[in-house]
Structure 1
Protein backbone atom coordinates (compact mmCIF):
# COMPACT_ATOMS: atom_id res chain seq x y z
CA UNK A 1 0.00 0.00 0.00
CA UNK A 2 1.53 3.35 -1.03
CA UNK A 3 1.50 6.57 1.02
CA UNK A 4 -0.94 8.17 -1.37
CA UNK A 5 -3.49 5.37 -0.94
CA UNK A 6 -3.69 5.79 2.83
CA UNK A 7 -6.21 7.89 4.67
CA UNK A 8 -4.00 9.97 6.94
CA UNK A 9 -5.16 12.67 9.34
CA UNK A 10 -2.85 15.54 8.45
CA UNK A 11 -4.79 18.15 10.39
CA UNK A 12 -3.37 17.15 13.76
CA UNK A 13 0.39 16.88 13.97
CA UNK A 14 0.64 15.84 17.62
CA UNK A 15 -0.15 12.60 19.39
CA UNK A 16 -2.78 12.53 22.10
CA UNK A 17 -1.64 13.99 25.41
CA UNK A 18 -1.68 10.68 27.25
CA UNK A 19 0.08 8.84 24.43
CA UNK A 20 -2.73 6.31 24.15
CA UNK A 21 -2.49 6.30 20.38
CA UNK A 22 0.62 4.49 19.23
CA UNK A 23 1.56 4.90 15.59
CA UNK A 24 3.65 2.40 13.71
CA UNK A 25 6.73 3.70 11.96
CA UNK A 26 4.93 3.21 8.65
CA UNK A 27 2.02 5.37 9.84
CA UNK A 28 4.43 8.03 11.10
CA UNK A 29 6.24 8.09 7.78
CA UNK A 30 2.96 8.30 5.86
CA UNK A 31 1.81 11.13 8.12
CA UNK A 32 5.09 12.97 7.67
CA UNK A 33 4.93 12.51 3.89
CA UNK A 34 1.37 13.84 3.80
CA UNK A 35 2.35 16.89 5.83
CA UNK A 36 5.36 17.51 3.60
CA UNK A 37 3.23 17.17 0.46
CA UNK A 38 0.74 19.66 1.91
CA UNK A 39 3.60 22.07 2.71
CA UNK A 40 5.05 21.78 -0.82
CA UNK A 41 1.61 22.32 -2.37
CA UNK A 42 1.14 25.44 -0.26
CA UNK A 43 4.53 26.81 -1.36
CA UNK A 44 3.73 25.99 -4.99
CA UNK A 45 0.36 27.77 -4.74
CA UNK A 46 2.04 30.78 -3.14
CA UNK A 47 4.56 31.02 -5.98
CA UNK A 48 1.77 30.77 -8.54
CA UNK A 49 -0.14 33.55 -6.75
CA UNK A 50 2.98 35.72 -6.67
CA UNK A 51 3.65 35.06 -10.36
CA UNK A 52 0.08 36.07 -11.20
CA UNK A 53 0.36 39.31 -9.19
CA UNK A 54 3.56 40.53 -10.87
CA UNK A 55 3.13 41.96 -14.38
CA UNK A 56 5.00 39.86 -16.92
CA UNK A 57 7.56 41.28 -19.34
CA UNK A 58 6.09 40.79 -22.81
CA UNK A 59 9.53 40.33 -24.39
CA UNK A 60 9.93 37.06 -22.50
CA UNK A 61 7.72 34.29 -23.79
CA UNK A 62 4.84 33.67 -21.44
CA UNK A 63 4.52 30.14 -22.78
CA UNK A 64 7.75 29.06 -21.08
CA UNK A 65 7.65 27.80 -17.52
CA UNK A 66 8.87 30.39 -15.04
CA UNK A 67 11.20 29.13 -12.33
CA UNK A 68 10.80 30.10 -8.70
CA UNK A 69 14.01 32.11 -8.83
CA UNK A 70 12.69 34.06 -11.83
CA UNK A 71 9.39 34.71 -10.03
CA UNK A 72 11.24 36.06 -6.99
CA UNK A 73 13.58 38.18 -9.15
CA UNK A 74 10.67 39.64 -11.12
CA UNK A 75 8.76 40.36 -7.92
CA UNK A 76 11.78 42.13 -6.40
CA UNK A 77 12.30 44.20 -9.58
CA UNK A 78 8.61 45.11 -9.63
CA UNK A 79 8.73 46.21 -5.99
CA UNK A 80 11.76 48.41 -6.71
CA UNK A 81 10.06 49.96 -9.78
CA UNK A 82 6.90 50.67 -7.80
CA UNK A 83 8.89 52.17 -4.90
CA UNK A 84 10.77 54.47 -7.32
CA UNK A 85 7.52 55.44 -9.04
CA UNK A 86 5.89 56.20 -5.69
CA UNK A 87 8.83 58.40 -4.65
CA UNK A 88 8.71 60.23 -7.98
CA UNK A 89 4.96 60.78 -7.58
CA UNK A 90 5.46 62.02 -4.01
CA UNK A 91 8.04 64.56 -5.22
CA UNK A 92 5.65 65.70 -7.95
CA UNK A 93 2.85 66.06 -5.39
CA UNK A 94 5.13 68.21 -3.21
CA UNK A 95 5.97 70.45 -6.19
CA UNK A 96 2.31 70.82 -7.10
CA UNK A 97 1.39 71.62 -3.48
CA UNK A 98 4.03 74.37 -3.41
CA UNK A 99 2.75 75.78 -6.70
CA UNK A 100 -0.80 75.63 -5.38
CA UNK A 101 0.22 77.48 -2.21
CA UNK A 102 1.99 80.15 -4.28
CA UNK A 103 -1.04 80.60 -6.51
CA UNK A 104 -3.36 80.82 -3.51
CA UNK A 105 -1.06 83.43 -2.02
CA UNK A 106 -1.19 85.42 -5.26
CA UNK A 107 -4.98 85.18 -5.31
CA UNK A 108 -5.19 86.44 -1.72
CA UNK A 109 -2.85 89.35 -2.44
CA UNK A 110 -4.86 90.25 -5.55
CA UNK A 111 -8.09 90.10 -3.58
CA UNK A 112 -6.60 92.34 -0.88
CA UNK A 113 -5.37 94.84 -3.42
CA UNK A 114 -8.75 94.84 -5.17
CA UNK A 115 -10.53 95.35 -1.87
CA UNK A 116 -8.31 98.37 -1.22
CA UNK A 117 -9.50 99.99 -4.46
CA UNK A 118 -6.22 99.66 -6.33
CA UNK A 119 -6.00 98.88 -10.02
CA UNK A 120 -4.62 95.44 -10.71
CA UNK A 121 -2.83 94.34 -13.83
CA UNK A 122 -2.86 90.55 -14.31
CA UNK A 123 0.29 90.28 -16.38
CA UNK A 124 1.86 87.72 -14.03
CA UNK A 125 -0.87 85.25 -14.90
CA UNK A 126 -0.05 85.42 -18.58
CA UNK A 127 3.71 85.49 -18.07
CA UNK A 128 3.59 82.16 -16.21
CA UNK A 129 1.67 80.35 -18.94
CA UNK A 130 3.34 77.28 -20.35
CA UNK A 131 1.85 77.36 -23.83
CA UNK A 132 4.01 78.67 -26.66
CA UNK A 133 1.20 80.22 -28.67
CA UNK A 134 2.25 83.41 -30.40
CA UNK A 135 -1.37 84.46 -30.72
CA UNK A 136 -2.36 87.66 -29.05
CA UNK A 137 -4.50 87.38 -26.00
CA UNK A 138 -6.51 89.81 -24.02
CA UNK A 139 -5.48 90.93 -20.60
CA UNK A 140 -8.03 91.84 -18.05
CA UNK A 141 -7.62 95.11 -16.21
CA UNK A 142 -9.67 96.04 -13.21
CA UNK A 143 -10.47 99.74 -12.97
CA UNK A 144 -10.63 101.27 -9.52
CA UNK A 145 -14.19 102.11 -8.57
CA UNK A 146 -16.42 101.94 -5.56
CA UNK A 147 -16.38 98.49 -3.97
CA UNK A 148 -19.96 97.78 -5.04
CA UNK A 149 -19.34 98.31 -8.75
CA UNK A 150 -16.29 97.20 -10.65
CA UNK A 151 -15.72 97.70 -14.32
CA UNK A 152 -13.65 95.32 -16.34
CA UNK A 153 -12.04 96.46 -19.52
CA UNK A 154 -10.51 94.19 -22.07
CA UNK A 155 -7.44 95.45 -23.85
CA UNK A 156 -5.29 93.80 -26.47
CA UNK A 157 -1.57 93.69 -25.99
Structure 2
Protein backbone atom coordinates (compact mmCIF):
# COMPACT_ATOMS: atom_id res chain seq x y z
CA UNK A 1 0.00 0.00 0.00
CA UNK A 2 2.92 2.27 0.68
CA UNK A 3 4.11 1.68 -2.85
CA UNK A 4 0.70 2.68 -4.20
CA UNK A 5 0.86 5.91 -2.23
CA UNK A 6 4.33 6.68 -3.62
CA UNK A 7 3.11 6.06 -7.16
CA UNK A 8 0.10 8.32 -6.54
CA UNK A 9 2.40 11.10 -5.23
CA UNK A 10 4.68 10.79 -8.26
CA UNK A 11 1.66 10.76 -10.58
CA UNK A 12 0.25 13.85 -8.86
CA UNK A 13 3.59 15.65 -9.21
CA UNK A 14 3.78 14.75 -12.89
CA UNK A 15 0.18 15.91 -13.41
CA UNK A 16 0.93 19.23 -11.70
CA UNK A 17 4.03 19.63 -13.82
CA UNK A 18 2.06 18.87 -17.00
CA UNK A 19 -0.73 21.29 -16.00
CA UNK A 20 1.79 24.05 -15.29
CA UNK A 21 3.47 23.40 -18.61
CA UNK A 22 0.11 23.51 -20.43
CA UNK A 23 -0.83 26.81 -18.76
CA UNK A 24 2.52 28.35 -19.68
CA UNK A 25 2.25 27.10 -23.26
CA UNK A 26 -1.28 28.52 -23.55
CA UNK A 27 -0.02 31.89 -22.27
CA UNK A 28 2.85 31.84 -24.77
CA UNK A 29 0.50 31.07 -27.69
CA UNK A 30 -1.90 33.79 -26.55
CA UNK A 31 0.95 36.33 -26.34
CA UNK A 32 2.13 35.30 -29.81
CA UNK A 33 -1.42 35.70 -31.17
CA UNK A 34 -1.73 39.18 -29.64
CA UNK A 35 1.65 40.14 -31.09
CA UNK A 36 0.50 39.07 -34.56
CA UNK A 37 -2.67 41.16 -34.14
CA UNK A 38 -0.59 44.18 -33.11
CA UNK A 39 1.72 43.70 -36.10
CA UNK A 40 -1.23 43.23 -38.47
CA UNK A 41 -2.79 46.49 -37.27
CA UNK A 42 0.39 48.40 -38.21
CA UNK A 43 0.47 47.14 -41.80
CA UNK A 44 -1.90 49.19 -43.99
CA UNK A 45 -2.50 46.38 -46.49
CA UNK A 46 -3.81 43.91 -43.87
CA UNK A 47 -4.89 46.20 -41.00
CA UNK A 48 -8.60 45.74 -41.72
CA UNK A 49 -8.38 42.01 -42.39
CA UNK A 50 -9.05 40.20 -39.11
CA UNK A 51 -8.74 36.82 -40.89
CA UNK A 52 -5.30 37.50 -42.38
CA UNK A 53 -3.10 34.40 -42.02
CA UNK A 54 0.11 34.78 -40.04
CA UNK A 55 2.28 34.09 -43.08
CA UNK A 56 0.51 36.90 -45.00
CA UNK A 57 0.99 39.27 -42.06
CA UNK A 58 4.72 38.47 -42.01
CA UNK A 59 5.12 38.86 -45.78
CA UNK A 60 3.21 42.16 -45.87
CA UNK A 61 5.14 43.42 -42.84
CA UNK A 62 8.42 42.68 -44.62
CA UNK A 63 7.22 44.47 -47.77
CA UNK A 64 6.06 47.43 -45.71
CA UNK A 65 9.38 47.74 -43.85
CA UNK A 66 11.30 47.59 -47.15
CA UNK A 67 9.01 50.27 -48.59
CA UNK A 68 9.53 52.53 -45.58
CA UNK A 69 13.31 52.03 -45.79
CA UNK A 70 13.24 52.94 -49.47
CA UNK A 71 11.23 56.09 -48.69
CA UNK A 72 13.70 56.98 -45.95
CA UNK A 73 16.70 56.66 -48.31
CA UNK A 74 14.92 58.75 -50.95
CA UNK A 75 14.02 61.46 -48.42
CA UNK A 76 17.56 61.56 -47.01
CA UNK A 77 18.94 62.00 -50.53
CA UNK A 78 16.37 64.71 -51.28
CA UNK A 79 17.21 66.49 -48.01
CA UNK A 80 20.92 66.43 -48.87
CA UNK A 81 20.21 67.74 -52.37
CA UNK A 82 18.12 70.59 -50.91
CA UNK A 83 20.84 71.37 -48.38
CA UNK A 84 23.43 71.62 -51.17
CA UNK A 85 21.06 73.79 -53.24
CA UNK A 86 20.50 76.09 -50.24
CA UNK A 87 24.26 76.45 -49.80
CA UNK A 88 24.66 77.26 -53.51
CA UNK A 89 21.95 79.91 -53.29
CA UNK A 90 23.47 81.41 -50.16
CA UNK A 91 26.85 81.54 -51.90
CA UNK A 92 25.31 83.12 -55.01
CA UNK A 93 23.47 85.67 -52.87
CA UNK A 94 26.72 86.58 -51.12
CA UNK A 95 28.45 86.99 -54.49
CA UNK A 96 25.67 89.24 -55.73
CA UNK A 97 25.77 91.30 -52.53
CA UNK A 98 29.50 91.80 -52.99
CA UNK A 99 28.96 92.59 -56.66
CA UNK A 100 26.27 95.13 -55.76
CA UNK A 101 28.50 96.73 -53.14
CA UNK A 102 31.22 97.14 -55.76
CA UNK A 103 28.65 98.43 -58.25
CA UNK A 104 27.34 101.06 -55.83
CA UNK A 105 30.63 102.95 -56.12
CA UNK A 106 30.15 103.29 -59.87
CA UNK A 107 26.49 104.40 -59.81
CA UNK A 108 25.59 107.99 -60.72
CA UNK A 109 25.35 110.27 -57.66
CA UNK A 110 21.54 110.64 -57.89
CA UNK A 111 21.02 106.89 -57.68
CA UNK A 112 23.97 106.25 -55.40
CA UNK A 113 22.60 108.62 -52.77
CA UNK A 114 19.49 106.42 -52.58
CA UNK A 115 21.63 103.31 -52.39
CA UNK A 116 21.65 100.29 -54.63
CA UNK A 117 21.27 97.45 -52.22
CA UNK A 118 18.07 95.44 -52.17
CA UNK A 119 17.42 96.64 -48.65
CA UNK A 120 17.28 100.24 -49.92
CA UNK A 121 15.03 99.19 -52.79
CA UNK A 122 12.50 98.26 -50.16
CA UNK A 123 12.58 101.61 -48.34
CA UNK A 124 9.77 104.08 -48.84
CA UNK A 125 12.13 107.07 -49.32
CA UNK A 126 13.01 105.77 -52.78
CA UNK A 127 10.43 106.54 -55.46
CA UNK A 128 9.02 103.76 -57.62
CA UNK A 129 10.59 105.49 -60.63
CA UNK A 130 14.05 105.44 -59.01
CA UNK A 131 13.62 101.79 -58.07
CA UNK A 132 12.59 100.93 -61.63
CA UNK A 133 15.54 102.89 -63.02
CA UNK A 134 18.01 101.07 -60.78
CA UNK A 135 16.50 97.69 -61.56
CA UNK A 136 16.39 98.38 -65.31
CA UNK A 137 19.79 99.96 -65.85
CA UNK A 138 21.75 97.88 -63.37
CA UNK A 139 21.03 94.16 -63.96
CA UNK A 140 23.22 93.09 -61.04
CA UNK A 141 21.04 95.10 -58.69
CA UNK A 142 17.93 93.57 -60.24
CA UNK A 143 19.40 90.07 -59.86
CA UNK A 144 20.36 90.75 -56.26
CA UNK A 145 16.90 92.16 -55.55
CA UNK A 146 15.29 89.04 -57.06
CA UNK A 147 17.54 86.70 -55.11
CA UNK A 148 16.89 88.63 -51.90
CA UNK A 149 13.14 88.19 -52.41
CA UNK A 150 13.59 84.47 -53.12
CA UNK A 151 15.87 84.07 -50.11
CA UNK A 152 13.36 85.82 -47.85
CA UNK A 153 10.57 83.59 -49.13
CA UNK A 154 12.59 80.41 -48.65
CA UNK A 155 14.26 81.19 -45.34
CA UNK A 156 11.73 83.62 -43.91
CA UNK A 157 14.38 86.27 -43.30
Deviation at 1:95?
1.2
| Residue pair 2:43, 2:61 contacting (<8 A) in 1 also | yes
Rg comparison, structure with higher value: 2
| Residue pair 2:46, 2:57 contacting (<8 A) in 1 also | no
Partner of 1:14: none
Deviation at 1:54?
1.0
Partner of 1:13: none
Partner of 2:95: 109
Structure with the higher helix share, 1 or 2: 2
Partner of 1:87: 73
Query: What runs of 5+ residues in structure 2 fail to find an aligned partner?
Result: 1-11, 117-129, 137-157
Query: What runs of 5+ residues in structure 1 fail to find an aligned partner?
Result: 1-22, 120-142
Partner of 1:55: 44
User: Using a 3 Å threshold, how does the CA distance of structure 1 residues 63 and 92 change in structure 2: closer, same or farther?
Assistant: closer
Partner of 1:126: none
The two structures, once aligned, show a CA RMSD in angstroms of 2.5
TM-score, normalization by structure 1: 0.60
Distance between the aligned counterparts of 1:87 and 1:94, measured in 2?
11
Distance between the aligned counterparts of 1:111 and 1:144, measured in 2?
17
Distance between the aligned counterparts of 1:66 and 1:78, measured in 2?
15
Structure with the higher strand share, 1 or 2: 1
Q: Which has the higher contact order (CA 8 A, sep 6+)?
A: 2
